[in-house]
Amino acid sequence: MKIYQNLTLALFLSFSLGCAKKEQTAINPPLVPSPTTTGSLKDMPFPFGAAVNVSLLRNNVQYKELVIKEFSSITAENAMKFNALHPSETTYSYTDADEIVALAQANGKRVHGHTLNWYKSLPTWVTNFQGDTQAWENLLKMHIQTVVGHFKGKVASWDVVNEAFEDDGTYRNSIWVQKLGADYIARAFQYANQADPDALLFYNDYGHEYNAIKRTAILNLVNNLKSRGIPIHGVGMQMHTRYNQTDANITSAITSVAATGLKVHISELDVVLNPDNVATLSYTTSLADLQAAKYKSIVKTYYSIPKAQQFGITTWNVTDADSWIPTTYSRPDWPLPFDRNYVRKAAYQGILDGVK
């Protein structure tokens, strides 16, 4: 009877422990051991930033402290997009964006504005807007000048136009191109410049490292704007990339963008480990090391362009727990230099090693 009771207890215990373990695994998968890092992103020879989420800054002290401790530049992940700042034709809502700016100012960080013009994140009042060409032009101008004016002296730089090209190098058939023609891009830069002549103005897009046709189209646009005297000061390369992207492709991308002579911002960096969407993939030391090597080579190439053109590198989000990748692509992934427990990964050391 005693043996039987003990057996039941043992079975019960191992069952409950098993459940507890399983539950813990689901919430917080075991992480690979993190290396000891020597140095800090704050000591990088150019600004190193992250895109931040305003509700995490507000509600998660650990997140907020990490952002304050590690980064010298801040981009709002969503808080400065059109729908966030300008939800109805006559309403601007600055609460979230102002909070990010205040945190940056209180902690001596640069703020990069993202983004004045995009085909996504538009409020319905814009997508439903009825008006002639002049009315659309006013809408574009009013939005840009009101927003840039509001943040004048606080936001150092702007992504003026985001993602205007398709993968085949043609202009995306966005609502802006439909209503105003592709040369609205030039006027968007002029409007921003009129509202804050000191702000550095960027054209931002993705794909430079994996699509030479698109890259050429972007560079043609940028060079055309430059030659016409349009106030453009830099190019944002989003660089949402993967651990197995070739160094040759990344180098061609960075060096050809630098050849414009404009400032180069690696504006939305992340290095995914699960580009093929494998639902069962797990994070391993070898993947972590491959990722660290890719971060290092990106940073190393970036550091080799002329100093005056090194505007900075910004990661898109802060840690693997808040990365946009797993939710956007419905898959496990670990794209950032901090793990989901906010611990520095091998990738962090990779970034530091890139400037050694």
Q: Which two tokens stand for residue 227?
A: 């030659």
**Is 77 tagged catalytic?**
no
Candidates 23, 163, 166, 209; catalytic one: 163
Q: How far is the CB of 312 from ligand XIL (least distance, A)?
A: 16
Q: How far is the CB of 256 from ligand XIL (least distance, A)?
A: 20
Q: Which residue is nearest to ligand XIL (CB)?
A: 324
**Is the Cβ of residue 126 or residue 352 nearer to ligand XIL in the bound state?**
126
Q: How far is the CB of 349 from ligand XIL (least distance, A)?
A: 25
**Is the Cβ of residue 113 or residue 332 nearer to ligand XIL in the bound state?**
113
CA dist 346 and 350 (Å) reads: 6
Tokens 């002579």 sit at which residue? 261
Q: What is the CA radius of gyration of the chain?
A: 23
SS3 160: strand
SS3 52: strand
Candidates 70, 77, 209, 268; catalytic one: 268
**Is the Cβ of residue 96 or residue 268 nearer to ligand XIL in the bound state?**
268
Pick the closest to residue 47 from 246, 234, 291 (CA basis). 234
**Is the Cβ of residue 64 or residue 247 nearer to ligand XIL in the bound state?**
64
Tokens 């009771």 sit at which residue? 5
Question: Which residues sit at the interface with ligand XIL, rule CB under 6 A?
Answer: 77-78, 162, 238, 268, 324
Q: How far is the CB of 162 from ligand XIL (least distance, A)?
A: 5
**Is 70 tagged catalytic?**
no
Catalytic site positions: 163, 268
